[in-house]
Amino acid sequence: MDVDPRLYEQIAVNDNDIHNIIMSYLVHNCFKETVESFIACTGMKQPSDYLEDMEKRKRIYQFALEGNALKAIELTEQLATNLLEKNKDLHFDLLSLHFVELVCSRKCTEALEFAQMKLTPFGKEQKYVEKLEDFMALLAYEEPEKSPMFHLLSLEYRQHVAEILNRAILAHGNHPTYTAMERLIQQTTVVRQCLNQEHAKDGPPPFSLKDFIKS
């Protein structure tokens, strides 16, 4: 059975709580203009500490998304000093984006030299060896986008790295790494899973955001 809507429809929700949830999402994703419009419409207090770095985070995210990883690295080091030095996984991912960009541009000699100088040192640690092999294998194909490692050239992969970078910068500044909306969905999902396991057939089904939106 699903949860009877009558059990929660009468629960009052404070408008300020809703505004804070929306603001958290907008700030996290660097929608600066929308944040400013939202503040003007709701009369919320401007979160100056967030807005100060939002434009910088937006530029970094965009550079990573476009594959301009070296610029993203440069700006990250300016905004979050020592972040990449401490987070080797993220540093490797960003350097790999630049390598992929060189491969896609058919600059194979430059890509090989870059890999030898910047990526190969990571091979001293076993966890990077397989990743290195996958990236280096791209050089063996005239059309790397048709290789078994084609996903490394995709927009989805760049989005994945850009989002990890954005969360890392937020964490470095002691800001939440997930939006309030994401945490609410995560918590709701876990609670429903626990209820389902505890009550078996008589409990509510696992939470589905897609089904909830449709209801």
pLDDT digits (tens, 9 = 90+) for 102-113: 999 999 999 999
| Number of domain units in the chain | 1
Q: Is residue 123 part of a domain?
A: yes
pLDDT at 1: 43
Given a contact cutoff of 8 angstroms between Cβ atoms, the answer to whether 122 and 133 are in contact is no
Supply the pLDDT for residue 215: 63
Higher pLDDT, 24 or 164: 164
Q: What CATH number does residue 95 fall under?
A: 1.25.40
Q: pLDDT per residue over 110-141, tens digit each?
A: 999 999 999 999 999 999 999 999 999 999 99
What gap in Å lies between CA 133 and CA 66, rounded to an integer? 23
Q: Is residue 124 part of a domain?
A: yes
- Angstrom distance (rounded) from CA 149 to CA 143: 11
Secondary structure class of 166 (helix, strand, coil)? helix
Q: Which residue segment(s) compose the domain that 105 sits in? A: 15-186
- Structural domain includes residue 193: no
For the segment 50-66, the average pLDDT, to the nearest whole number, is 89
Instruction: Work out the mean pLDDT of the chain and round it to a whole number.
Output: 88
